[in-house]
Structure 1
């Protein structure tokens, strides 16, 4: 493909994306195609001769788009949002065009330095503690996801707890990780990968009302493990749990970790973006105790997947835990000690230029534009919660400090399961579910860039109408 051919094909692809976004509200949010539909529509083997971009785009329309769940659809209220935006897509396009492999400063000086500056910018925008800035002993890096950030935090915590010897002596049965019963499943996966075994994680009970980690229960678990000869290595506290956006009490958890010398990682994958708004920083109270912290701009901050912002208070400790330096990677810049090599801040060696899309987003929207986006989501969620609260058939199941509303029909789980199926069957709205205190609960998460009052009200009308046949009058 010559530069001129690329130019023409690029125009066509950008037009296709713009048309896709423009027509999203008219599309069903989910596909009804049965499993195997796309596979059956594709040729049995690869093409022998090259095809035109027009032919590929035609098949995008015919085969791919109809088989998607449309995460940017204004009726997508499932899981948590996975935002993208025009500036983010353009930044990714530039990154792909440059083709930089930024494993070392030497392999992409601007790639490394832009990332460092952007993570400092984000730390400033979220008002994170100074210890997470690159001017001191800490600093930030972009991981692919909060799951990878948790894995890195786990490895650094084990490195600290074992005095640097965990890689040589093994860890199974020796060390423990603690998180609440509401914490993300990636914590258990990280413990497995790190070699802790299935018993390496202790799940701490939560307060029945707030759904946040019980600090007395955490302390009791740590003391019991110490008495049994097991070393408490890591506590993962969550700001905005997946089920209900509960906020673990960092001001109380932090001193417990400090008392016992336990590494504290704070996972704010979804809710961390809200801290760009000063009035929504309540979840960060006590963050000064944290050894590491992360959130996902790819969830609620208009930056396409994958992009997790991860900070540590002691970058030297992280590098010591993860660095492996073969001869073929040695270079003068690294040997000087004057540069950051982000390969030492993550599990893989290679890394792409993710900072570009974040840079494009920050330059296009500015902090104020991002605040407007977050505040709009919180306001729309509150609007929906008011509708639920005003209908005696329904109940709110948990507080809704951010963009997620957890609710259910009063009564048995079966009615709620039927309600979710009925709403999903319209293909106009996508909700997901969880269990809160054992009860089947519906989740509506606002955050798609195109969602407005019209779409939230439509979602309520669909839910209310579907409920009419499930709940007897009066």
Structure 2
């Protein structure tokens, strides 16, 4: 493809994407295809001869689009959002066009230095602890996801506890990590990856609000110490996946300091709310954290993948992950004058992710970002009022952020059937959780284009569909 051909096809692609966003509400939010429907339309072998872009895009429309679940639809309320925006898409396009591999400062100085500055901007914009800035003891790095951030934190915590000998000897004897029963599953996966074994992962009970119980945490730590174990890591969550619960970070942090444990705080979805000063009380105690992460690709209008990860002591992270083979040695690194982000995460290679985040921050500005996040929170309040106005539905709690958990009073079986029936219509997509053996419907309200009319239509569909379903004999 020549530059002229690229220019022509690139313009067509931008038009296609713009048209897609203008027409996105015509698509069923949840893909309606069956397993194998896509693969049976694809040839068994790759083409021998090259094909035109027009033929390829025709197959996108014919084969691919029916198999897309539309995460950017304003009627997408499932899981947590993975929202985007046009500035972010353009930043990602530029990143792809430049084709930077930013493993070292020397391999593209702008890739490193822009990332450092953007991460420092966010510390100030979100009122995070000053020591998370690159100019202090800590610093920030863009990971792909919160899962990778948690794994990096686990490894650094392990090395600090073993005086940086575990990576040499492989000895993890006695190490114990702590999460709550509501902590995201990525922490359990991270423990498996690091080779610790889930038998040394303690799941701490939660209080009636589904937040980690610090008394139970300290009790378990004391028991493990008495048994000769080595507690080394705790993950607290601001905005759990099931219910958006907020763990008491300050109290947990004080316990971690008392017993010398690494505290990682996961705010993957809810972290964006820290842009609003009146929501920062949910982040109280963050200065006690050794590491902290949130995902702009969830609620900060930056397309996947983009996780912001900070550490209070960058030396601990770098000492854990740094390896310098001969082929990566260079003058800037040896002088110690630069950051080499390859030492800050698992992978060596890295994309120029900060470009899209930079585009978002500059296009919206702090004022614009605060406006849109506050708008989503106000919409959440509107949906809560709709649920409260019904005699047939009940709320789990008053949502701290933008996740509404609610259920029909007819019981678990009825609620599952209600959810499945509505999702099959394609008009909206929402998911569920199970808490205290009760089936709760989850409405996550944070998609970039969602407006009040979408929530009103969603509630009307939910209530109307509920009236058509038979009530079960049991009410569980």
Q: Which category describes the TM-score, using the shorter chain as reference length?
A: over 0.9
SS at 2:271 equivalent: helix
Aligned twin of 2:435: 436
Once the two structures are superposed, the pairs formed by residues 25-36 of structure 1 within 5 Å of their partners are 25-36=25-36
Q: Could you tell which deviates more after superposition, 159-168 or 336-345?
A: 159-168
- Measured in 2, the distance between the counterparts of 1:137 and 1:249 equals 25
8 Å Cα contact 2:30/2:424 also seen in 1 = no
Check the 8 A contact 1:154/1:191 in 2, yes or no: yes
SS state at 1:31 partner: coil
Q: Which residue of 1 aligns with 2:354?
A: 355
Whether contact under 8 Å (1:393, 1:471) holds in the other structure is: no
C-alpha distance in 1, partners of 2:437/2:25?
Answer: 35
1:20 is aligned to 20
Alpha-carbon contact 1:270-1:296 (below 8 Å) kept: yes
Shift of 1:200: 2.2
Cross-structure match for 1:101 = 101
- Counterpart CA distance in 2 for 1:32 and 1:139 is 44
CA positional deviation for 1:171: 4.3
Partners in 2 of 1:449 and 1:259 — Cα distance? Answer: 42
CA deviations 1:361-414 (Å, max 9, x no partner) are: 111111111111111111111111111111111110123111110000113211
Runs (4+) of structure 1 moved beyond 4 Å? Answer: none
Correspondence for 1:323: 322
Shift of 1:216: 0.3
Q: Partner of 2:434: helix, strand, or coil?
A: strand
Matches of 2:35 and 2:451 in 1, distance apart? 32
DSSP-derived class of the 2:265 partner? strand
Partner of 1:205: 205
Question: What pairs with 1:418-429 in structure 2 (closer than 5 Å)?
Answer: 418-429=417-428
Unpaired segments ≥5 residues, structure 2: 472-476
- Corresponding residue number in structure 2 for 1:294: 293
- Residue in 1 that maps onto 2:273: 274
Distance in 2, Cα, partners of 1:196 & 1:425: 41
Q: Which residue of 2 aligns with 1:258?
A: 257
Per the alignment, residue 158 of structure 2 pairs with 158
User: 1:119 — aligned with what?
Assistant: 119
Give me the whole-angstrom Cα distance separating, in 2, the residues matched to 1:426 and 1:3.
Answer: 44
Whether the aligned pair in 2 keeps the contact of 1:397 and 1:436 (CA below 8 Å) is no
Q: In structure 2, what is the equivalent of residue 6 of structure 1? A: 6
For residues 63-142 of structure 1, the aligned pairs below 5 Å read 63-142=63-142
Range 421-430 or range 257-266, more displaced: 421-430
Shift in Å, 1:43: 2.0
Distance 1:176 1:369 in 2: 43
Q: Structure 1 pair 399/172, CA: closer, same or farther in 2 (3 Å)?
A: farther
**What is the total number of aligned residue pairs between the two structures?**
472
Q: Indicate conservation of the 8 Å contact 2:166/2:172, yes or no.
A: no
Q: Deviations over 1:424-457 (max 9, x none)?
A: 1221010100011111110000111111111000
Q: Within 5 Å, give how 1:212-227 maps onto structure 2.
A: 212-227=211-226
Distance across 1 between alignment mates of 2:468 and 2:410: 14
Distance, in Å, in 2 between the alignment partners of 1:154 and 1:84 is 29
Please say which of residues 138-147 and 365-374 is displaced more in the overlay. 365-374
Instruction: Note the aligned Cα RMSD (angstroms).
Output: 1.2
CA distance in 2, matches of 1:471, 1:61: 38
Question: 1:66 & 1:131 partners in 2: Cα distance?
Answer: 48
Displacement of 1:196 in angstroms is 0.7
Query: What's the offset of the Cα at 1:471?
Result: 6.8
* Shift of residue 28, structure 1, vs aligned partner: 1.0
Q: Distance in 1 between matches of 2:200 and 2:268?
A: 22
Matched, 1:340 2:356: no
Distance in 2 between the 1:469 and 1:224 partners? Answer: 53
Q: Report the CA distance between 1:173 and its aligned residue.
A: 4.4
Deviation at 1:131, TM superposition (A): 0.5
- Residue matched to 1:285: 284
Q: Which residue is 2:195 aligned to?
A: 195
Cα contact 2:430–2:443 (8 A) shared by 1: yes
In 2: Cα distance, 1:470 partner to 1:61 partner:
35
